[in-house]
Amino acid sequence: MRVMMVGTGYVGLTTGICFAEMGHSVICYDIDKSKVEKLLRNELPIYEPGLEKALIRNREREQLFFSSNLNEAIGFEPDIVFICVDTPPNVKTGEANLEHVYSAAQKIAEALIGSDRFTVFVNKSTVPVGTAATVQRIISEIIPKENFAVASNPEFLREGSAIFDFMNPDRVVVGSSSERARRLLEDLYKPLTRAGHALVMTRTVETAELIKYSANGFLATKVAFINELALLCEKAGADIEELALGIGLDNRIGRSFLSPGPGYGGSCFPKDTSALAATARSMGSPATIIETVIKSNTQHKKKMVEKTEQIVGNLEGKSIAVLGLTFKANTDDMREAASLTIIPELQNRGAAVTTYDPIAADTASMMLPNVNRAASIEEALTGADAALILTEWDEFRHSNWSKLASLMKTPQLIDLRNLFNPVQIKAMGLDYYSLGRG
């Protein structure tokens, strides 16, 4: 099958490469020429484990092409066009900004004028319920109704394990009122469904759109829940890790997303929970649980600064080493990372912050301009009054902490990812504080 990806970000690029890997012919189109030029040099514009090898392999076997020229991309004659553009939140209202989705749909439809081919437009971007209907209207004003159909196929991959997630999905979700579109998408995903992965197919595109927001809303709720419980454990003298195991082994609850941390971030949970809340409000059916989760997560990040202050004392003039800036490990994505709230608040309270992140130093320099940047953990910790772990990078787990402790002014380690066994790490000479473990 011939497939066109619109947008070569985390989602469009990964899924495009994976479709090529599955044997489809894929062209990836992006309006950002510099991204496409990089890709044409076999360089990745993002950090994602395993993606570079797959990119080179599929270009070599001529399954994968790139272009920043829309007419050239449409000349590829795709059967299916996936819209994978960004849908950033409106800071004031929390609503998803759909400008890029609508503009992509319009431009592609215009490029199809005069063609008799049947094309399926698929929203892979995360969009509020009702977006497919608007996309349908936009396109129908440009090309004949019988030449196209619109579908929703939300994406559930996680950055850092994106290829694995795409190739091994718990389920593929497809929604379209068009039988022809549903059959085409069913064929496209045959390599996955034949391998036993479930396909949830719905005739109401609205259901598919809502599945994505509901899934992220539910997962964000789990994270906010366990973070609140971690703080309660500290007051009650209980252990959050054992508590998470004790509830997570109940199949009705499940073990995933029960690791406490500094507050969820990333390009999806904050944006999708806000958009779900905004959509629900606008439809007169408020999502009060999600509204509370958003508030809880914002407060949790502030509480992490208060926790640091309680341990270190007055932060004025203190030197704090922050280890890990990205919203989670194995990605360079800094969007909505907890570090972006916690570091400025530490600085407001007078701390001098030095940061170290194994991957995101360059991205972070634009988003956190007033911090000292260290090139290694050793450099970050030298002379520090305390170290604060925000991201669960493996490098932190495997460092020589006895040596690192000796470099610090006071060896206080505040681990907001619970990376270490408290007894073992204390034996290495650190005053160790973690989340929800007494």
Ligand X SMILES: NC(=O)c1ccc[n+]([C@@H]2O[C@H](COP(=O)([O-])OP(=O)(O)OC[C@H]3O[C@@H](n4cnc5c(N)ncnc54)[C@H](O)[C@@H]3O)[C@@H](O)[C@H]2O)c1
Structure tokens given for 366? 């634009």
155 binds ligand X (CB under 6 A): yes
Cβ burial of 131 (10 Å; 0-12, 13-18, 19+) is buried
Contact call for residue 126 and ligand X (CB under 6 A):
yes
Residue 35 touches ligand X, criterion: CB under 6 A: yes
> Judged by CB, which is closer to ligand X: 334, or 384?
334
Closer of 88 and 254 to ligand X (Cβ): 88
Nearest-approach distance from CB 35 to ligand X, in angstroms? 5
- Kindly tell me which of 81 and 233 has the beta carbon lying closer to ligand X: 81
* 111 or 315: CB nearest ligand X: 111
Q: Is 28 a catalytic residue?
A: no
Burial 46-82 (b: 16+ CB within 10 A, else e): bbbeebeebbeebbeeebbbbbbebeebbeeebbbbb
CA distance 422 to 401: 13
Name the active-site residue from 18, 28, 84, 268: 268
Q: Binding of ligand X at residue 228 (CB under 6 A)?
A: no
Q: 1-20: which residues touch ligand X (CB under 6 A)?
A: 6-12
Q: Is residue 84 near ligand X by the rule CB under 6 A?
A: yes
Least Cβ distance, residue 155 to ligand X (angstroms): 4
Interaction residues for ligand X, span 103-122 (CB under 6 A): 103-104
* Minimum distance from residue 312 beta carbon to ligand X (Å): 34
Stretch that binds ligand X, among 26-34, 189-197, 283-291, 345-353 (CB under 6 A): 26-34
By beta-carbon distance, which residue lies closest to ligand X?
9
Q: Give 87 or 296: the residue with its C-beta nearer to ligand X.
A: 87
The phi, psi pair for 373, rounded to 5°, reads -110, 130
Please say which residue, 274 or 308, places its beta carbon nearer to ligand X. Answer: 274
Least distance from ligand X to the Cβ atom of residue 344, Å: 23
Assess 138 for contact with ligand X (CB under 6 A): no
Contact of 393 with 358, CB cutoff 8 Å: yes
Query: Is 270 a residue that touches ligand X (CB under 6 A)?
Result: no
Interface residue with ligand X, options 28, 268, 276, 416 (CB under 6 A): 268
Footprint on this chain of ligand X (rule: CB under 6 A): 6-12, 29-32, 35, 84-87, 100, 103-104, 125-126, 155, 157, 159, 267-268
- Residues assigned a catalytic role: 268
